[in-house]
Amino acid sequence: MTVGSNSDIAAVSAVSDVSGEKKPWNSNEMMTIAASRTLKDGAICFVGIGIPSTAAILAKSSHAPNLFLIYESGTVNTDPKRLPLSIGDGELANEALSVVGMPEIFNYWLQPGHIDVGFLGAAQIDRFGNINTTFIGNSYDDPKVRLPGAGGATEIAGACKEVIIIIKQSKRTFVEKIDFITSFGFGDGPGSREKHGLIGNGPKYVITDQGILEPDPVTKELVLVSLHPGVSVESAIENTGWDLKVAENILTTDEPKDFELKKVRELVATSSKKSE
């Protein structure tokens, strides 16, 4: 599932902190920058359109120049200079080391576990990082809302060494029980991934407009470990559909730096111009 969109980043209004003071960035910019900071130099990253592309290009242009970007369409070690509008955007092929068929992307790169980190979005997520991108409602055959489906998300969730999930946090998205498990997180807790033969390590970070969550190393339940600037613990709890666990020594996400905001906004502008 595509995570966000480039127009979303431009459209979101500035963030207000707990005192009501406006921050000079919006929530999508904060999520993008937080995601970018998690990417390590030299990592092989399976990228999607929208926020993941923005985060990856930002990382590659700053602290991770050797980040190895792969897109589902077959572009290998690409270095886009502007935001792609889709996985079929020519910018990805023009700037790639090579272009291969989609079967090679899945059969060689993804399914055997050669990808270090993959991005996922979701319509719903539960406390164990399982995500739903299939339907909302009581029945697959008669849903309230039909969603885009899995795409490559099932393989990303199952085989990547790390998974980063980017999702806006609310009681509609952070639910006690998701309506359908499209992509496996930690199932119903410890041992679930091993029981199902999944080779990847599961979700590493869940990055929201409230903060950053990580799975507890023992219980595998998501724990709020960092709050974005201006966000309160109470706000994060109010926007969660289960009894959210909060780290004892919770951190505050570093504010976006000027160069990070400048780069993100430049990238969004290139995409907006191309789509006009």
Question: Is 29 designated active site?
Answer: no
| Cα gap 152→52, rounded to integer Å | 15
| Cα gap 112→91, rounded to integer Å | 27
Helix, strand, or coil here: 195? helix
| Cα gap 80→90, rounded to integer Å | 10
- Token pair belonging to 162: 């790390």
Query: Which residue is catalytic, options 21, 29, 72, 221?
Result: 72
In order of 139, 225, 226, the CA distances from 213 in angstroms are 30, 5, 7
In order of 97, 113, 116, 169, the CA distances from 94 in angstroms are 9, 26, 24, 36
- Token pair belonging to 187: 């199932």
Catalytic residues, by residue number, are 72
